[in-house]
Amino acid sequence: MITAEAVGWKVGGAQILDDVSLAVAPGELLGIIGPNGAGKSSFVDVLSGVVRPTSGRIRIRDADVTRLSSTRRARMGLARSFQTSALFDGLSAGENVRLAVQAAGPAAFSPFRRVGSAALEVVDTLLSRVRMPGRAATLARDLSHGDRRKLELAMALASDPAVLLLDEPMAGVSAEDVDGLGEIIGEVRDSGVAVAMVEHHMHVVLGLADRVAVLHHGQLLAVGAPTDVVADERVQQAYVGEAL
């Protein structure tokens, strides 16, 4: 569904990403791990069109989107979340989701392009999908950290994406909420979405991901089944001093 072909990104003389080739299929969850500064967020930025790679190609389905903006890629079915929160704190959960639905625009998005009461139904559907039914009226700033992350997920789903890129969707979330978020993300994958998830919570990545990719110094160190990747000596070396 989305493919990176020999992607490189060089900025100010530093090679942030170097010859990374990875693909995510519909209904597949690719976990992306790696030490701090490995280039994980940069890779998500390159896939989503926030930055343009200096070498290589990005495809969505068969289309070469390397030179297309993030907006164009969004209209082709790509959605993402950011490592840091992107909520409007002064708005309710429902209003945040409604803005995301509107921002998804008129292109495809057939199920969600609604007005009036139908639009409210869409908001409810999205909030239910992240297991926050009945929370539409709660101000974003009054939500727990876990619920904020779920809300961000609902917003990313507002465009009914075919590809979902998540950059540390569980960052700062309590242990109970981590598992709940994992289940929701697993359901999104099971619905046929191609999901790529950067995440530090290793037990979630290993339990949830169909395949795991390890980035290290901007390079793809290993990719494969979670158990194989964890057993890989080079991966363990890369994590010396960090919990795997």
Ligand X SMILES: Nc1ncnc2c1ncn2[C@@H]1O[C@H](COP(=O)(O)OP(=O)(O)OP(=O)(O)O)[C@@H](O)[C@H]1O
Q: 59-98: which residues touch Mg ion (CB under 5 A)?
A: none
Minimum distance, C-beta of residue 45 to ligand X, in the bound complex (Å): 7
- Contact between 49 and ligand X by CB under 6 A: the answer reads no
Residue 34 interacts with ligand X (CB under 6 A): yes or no:
yes
Per CB under 6 A, 13 contacts ligand X: no
- From the list Mg ion, ligand X, none, pick the one residue 34 interacts with, judged by a Cβ distance below 5 to 8 Å according to partner type: ligand X
Task: Compare residues 81 and 92 and give the one whose CB is closer to ligand X.
Answer: 81
Nearer to ligand X, 82 or 109 (CB): 82
Distance CA 11, CA 13 (A): 5
Contact code string over 1-40 relative to Mg ion, x by CB under 5 A: ---------------------------------------x
d(CA 166, CA 115): 28
Tokens at 45, concatenated:
């930025």
Q: Which pairs from 42-46 meet CB under 8 Å and 24+ separation?
A: 42/9, 42/16, 42/17, 42/218, 43/4, 43/7, 43/17, 43/198, 43/215, 44/80, 44/165, 44/167, 44/196, 44/198, 46/4, 46/7, 46/9, 46/17
Q: Does 3 bind ligand X (CB under 6 A)?
A: no
By the criterion CB under 6 A, which residues form the site for ligand X?
11-12, 14, 16, 34, 36-42, 83
